[in-house]
Amino acid sequence: MKKRIISAGLLLSVVGTVQAQERQVVDTVASALETQGLMTPKGRFEIEPSFSYSQNTSNRISILGFTQVPALLVGIIEAEDADLTTFTWALAARYGLTNRIELELRVPVVYRHDSITKRIPGSGSNGDETTTLTPSGGGLGDVEAAVRYQFNLESIPFWIGGLRVKSDTGESPFDQTLDVNGIFTDPPTGSGAWSLEPSLTMIYPLDPAVLFATGGYTWNMEADAGVDIDSSNGSAGNDKYDLGDSFFLGMGMGFAVNNRLSFSLGFNHRTVFESSVNGNKSGEVLQLDSLTTGFSLAINDKTSVNMSLQAGLTEDAPDVQLNFGMPIMF
């Protein structure tokens, strides 16, 4: 049970951060093809409605028993197949404080639909027992705020520093109850903890292409659990959890097809360190690698359409993520 809650918190935290980073890269590539100033111009305001879809599947087999002779297992073999689908609608607002400084606020609404199938062969019935549970639900996600600063305007490559703050406004997995099968009755919509993420992005225009690279570190703060996740603690609600920090690296290239259309290809890596409960290490180190492709189409001088598709390369990474956004400048 504790492992499932920790894994759910990690997945929500990492997926939200990765999606935000991908949107930033696609937008930055599109902007770099047109102007040296990559931030929202001074005194200008931009809003971006967006939609994202994420799909993640996993298969797990647990064996409780012993081998009496080769090919004869005494005990229970439990197989589990989980399909986790997440839809996120978000509205981001950006303001150009100066030509070098950009402020951003992003408010997401998350809906999750999980399909979890359990099979228990050899349980004494005439056939394998199969139970399919489909918890679903949604609500406000984790609200984020960010500030970005462009260090240079004239020389290349361009360097952009950023600091993102993620709140805990979404429903935390550490406040949700589990059913008898160890599955959330109401899927969480947030990671349950505040986090800070400093980052540094490099943009190198090579007409008609743009090279980009980005890196950063995510620090998740310790938080209190609303349910007992450590059976040795003896008192529900007194547990403290600390989601594993992580660092990420990404690189890729954007290419201008014409003065309105550009596309990008990229690779992203993130390492997530172990979490802890009441100071005791829990879980394991996660490695998330993915390939990303995206495009940006300028509708007019104030509006564009962005799309990115991310495919997971490692077992821990989400299978697929699809993001759509429409920045509108005022």
> Is residue 60 very low, low, confident or very high in pLDDT (cuts 50, 70, 90)?
low
Per-residue pLDDT band for 128 (boundaries 50, 70, 90) equals low
**Helices then strands (H, E): number in the chain?**
1, 19
Report DSSP letters for 76-113, one per residue: EEEEEEEEEEEEEEEEEEEEESSSSEEEEEEEEEEEEE
Structurally, the chain folds into a number of domains equal to: 1
Taking residues 71-85, report their average pLDDT: 62
Q: Which residue has the tokens 């596309």?
A: 263
pLDDT for position 307? 93
Give the Cα separation of 73 and 59 in Å (integer). 21
**pLDDT band at residue 32 using 50, 70 and 90 as cut-offs:** very low
| DSSP per position, 39-54 | SPPTT-EEEEEEEEEE
Q: CATH number of the domain at 143, please.
A: 2.40.160.40
Mean pLDDT, the chain, rounded, equals 79
Residue 276: pLDDT band (50, 70, 90) is confident
Judged against a pLDDT cut of 70, whether residue 70 lies above it is answered with no
- Residue range 193-250, pLDDT digits in tens: 899 999 999 999 887 788 999 999 999 998 888 766 655 554 555 678 888 899 999 9
Both tokens assigned to 99:
């030509």
For residues 13-30, give the mean pLDDT: 45
Question: 292-323: per-residue pLDDT in tens?
Answer: 999 999 998 889 999 999 999 998 888 999 99
User: Token digits for 73?
Assistant: 């297992």
